[in-house]
Chain A
Amino acid sequence: MRRARRRSLRPRPLSYLWMLIPGLAVYLAFTVYPFLSSLRYSLYNWTGVGALRDFIGLGNYSFIFNPQGFLHPLVRAVLHNVYFFGLSFVLSCLLGFLLAYLLYSVNTRVSAWLQALYFVPYLIPPVVVGYLWSIYLEPGFGAISRALNALGLSWLNLPYLGSSRLALPTVVGISAWAGMGFPVLLFLAAMINIPSEILDAAKIDGAGATTTMTRVIFPMLRSTFVTVVTLTWLSSFLVFDLVYVLEGTQAGPNYATDVFGTLFYRTAWGGFGATATGMGLAAATAVVAFFFIMIIAALMVWLQQRLGRD
């Protein structure tokens, strides 16, 4: 009802739609257009070198969904991405929220310093993050294994990057270490945005810290929460550099860390350990994955808009 009244006051579409044009034009020209024109690779058997000659229609797609073909590695990779998302969710969203809340409630000066500190790893190129952690985790002479042995905790000195069970959680942990600053910043921004009247009102009503958090802050942050979850989902799906640096194109051990990014790269650009080398197949794989990611992301957006509305 309020909505209808508001709309009557609102300007006509033409007066605001033009503001959308420049962004849309640049985006369409320099991202969407090259993407669409790369779609035709998916219809060819093409190594990535030379002209497109060998047209195979939907051959790449049927190969992807063929259990004897690419289905197994693709499903495995996607499941690893989902796992990556699950663990990242716990680390980035929950721990990130907790850290943001704590930063919000402590002394402002300390908070400002810690915010800066938490953010710094995010500024290091993933290649370097990967190298740093790989030398710490080297099982023989790495700092962590030495420290564990020295502390009498040698039972904890495990092949973190070399066991099928531990490799993926280790990579997610390193990724969360590097990326934590960003969700913290988003949550914090949203918390500071909560009008102080609301908090004061809660205080007057005699709400304690816990009640304020669960009853006031958390609900007001729902849409930020969905934003962070969506971003975590997307970044979990696009993760590449870190796996590539820590575990190579083959995303070892035994493909235990093989995610869509490494599968795509290995298939598109070849390199050691390609099961089938071809830009064509890689493009088709990307299309399939693209729709999968989009459906889930659209679901999240829908959720976000619903939550944002009420």
Chain B
Amino acid sequence: MKHALPALTTLACALSLGAALAAPSTLTVWTWRAQDAPLWKQVQAKLNQEGYQVHIDFRSINPTSYDSVLATAMDSGKGPDIFYGRAGEGTFNYAASKLIVPVNGLVSFKNFVPSSLAAVHYQGKNWGVPLDEEAMVIFYNKQIFKTYHLSPPKTWNDFLTILKTLKSHGVTPISIMPIQTWLVALTIDEISATMLGNQGAKSLVARKMTYNSKPYIDVLKKLVSLEPYFEPNYMAVGSAGNEQEIAIATGQAAMVFDGIYDLGTMEQFGAKQSNLGIFAVPPMRAGQPSRVDWYPDATLVENAKIANPAARAAANAALKFATTKQFGSDFAGIAGEISPIKGVTIPAKYVIAREAYALYQKEPLNPLIGIRSPMDTPPPTGVNSSSQKVNTDVGIFTAETNEVQPLLSGKITPAQAAAAIQKAVSWYFAK
């Protein structure tokens, strides 16, 4: 320690000197989406082309640690210049604390699909730029379907017949990961999209119906009714986090409920796009529409404390660029996911993502009732000095996530789960 202290001081000096020299040209960007690294190379090229002498320092942090790392840095005023916010609540918390800047005056949102802006809209202002939209579908292994002469179902009963057929041949019909509770909660959202439809969704949002109502209880019953078709001991699946993608990719299971963001994982584990197919949860009766559950996932937001004017200017320029069709195309081209910018299409090489995009365009659920819905964004708390109580409000997605395991393991009935979910989001219905 005797020698450490002088060294420490020297090092501190060296560091601050280094910072002073390097800062003007560096724009830091933090995300949990490692796959977006090439995207930000393109943003940098674009900024340099526009005359900003800037180097983008892109840092991806694993998603389970991301929120804590970001919050710690932001609280001490040492956060990144631009960061990825979680759409909705995750962005609003920073907005409410004035740690990020509203971007209305800075950028134009005319290119955006209007519904996507809910992800950044808080107290009359937009606090960032929506990045992506994710769609939830059922993936199936074409080879397995072909072997047993099956085709995508038109109705829920068709779906059940397919499941029975597969099971009778000793094939695991559906792989699911109850340890990854969030993914099962998304499955609930996925089933409720078709079963409640836009009409039901509207009544929920308008508080004319609750999560305690029969249609929603029926959704939970449907999930439970799939239980015989999951793999044996399915409650233990999901620690590694991608067992279900492995299962469909390697033909261990015929189907999975999943988001299009997991296509990359499936391919990585050996799935061929030509061997995968998708469909939305089928309706009760033929002729009724299916609905695709979708949600905005990430937003690009700008730190309110950027000391360096050059970095501030570059951040502004980057966000401005993020609202252009060019950026949307870059995003769709690199990630193979859906951009909320109008007119952006997914390149032909992403066959399945394109199919999902077509489904999403044809039959999107509107309004949303699960993740990223109005019921998923309890108002930020701790902003005022007047609450005098512990905040216990959670969003619908957290509420669903909490009930997934008890529901699947038969600890509680669908009606009890629905009651618990309704109780958790009562703040919305009390409005």
Contacts and interface: CB of A to CB of B under 8 A. Distances in A.
Contacts of B250: 141
> Chain A interface residue count: which class?
35 or more
Given A46-B382, A141-B247, A274-B398, A250 B390 contact: no
A252 to B, nearest CB: 5
Contacts of A138: 236-237, 239-240, 243
A137 B236 contact: yes
A45 B240 contact: no
Given A53-B385, A159-B236, A275 B392 contact: yes
A51 interface: yes
Interface stretch (B64-72, B189-197, B210-218, B312-320): B64-72
Contact of A47 (B93, B180, B234, B385): B93
Contacts of A280: 382, 390
Interface string B178-205: 1111100100000000000000000000
A253 B398 contact: no
Contacts of A52: 382
Nearest to A132: B240
Contacts of A47: 93, 380-382, 391
Given A159-B236, A250-B402, A254-B405, A140 B389 contact: no
B232 interface: yes
B391 A250 contact: no
Nearest to A22: B1
Nearest to A255: B405
A276 B67 CA distance: 16
Given A50-B383, A162-B233, A250-B401, A59 B71 contact: no
B396 to A, nearest CB: 12
B394 A272 contact: no
B contact patch SS: loop
A67 B239 CA distance: 31
A157 B234 CA distance: 12
A252 B390 CA distance: 25
A50 B182 contact: no
A73 B383 CA distance: 27
B64 A271 contact: yes
A248 B181 contact: yes
Interface stretch (B8-16, B94-102, B344-352): B94-102
Interface in A17-35: 22, 26
Interface string A263-297: 00000111111111110110000000000000000
A contact patch SS: loop
B236 A250 contact: no
A54 B382 contact: yes
A87 B250 CA distance: 38
Interface in A49-65: 49-56, 59-60, 63
Interface string B389-421: 111101001100110011001010000000000
B390 A63 contact: yes
B67 to A, nearest CB: 6
B394 A274 contact: yes
A131 B240 contact: yes
B231 A56 contact: no
Interface string B355-391: 0000000000000000000000000111111111111
Interface of A: 22, 26, 44-56, 59-60, 63, 69, 130-131, 133-135, 137-141, 145, 157-164, 244-250, 252-254, 268-278, 280-281
The 7 A-B residue pairs whose C-beta atoms are closest, nearest first, are A50-B97, A162-B236, A162-B235, A134-B239, A139-B233, A159-B236, A159-B233
21 contacts: A46-B382, A47-B381, A49-B94, A50-B75, A50-B96, A53-B385, A54-B383, A56-B390, A138-B237, A139-B232, A139-B233, A159-B233, A162-B233, A162-B234, A245-B239, A248-B180, A273-B181, A273-B182, A278-B381, A278-B382, A278-B391
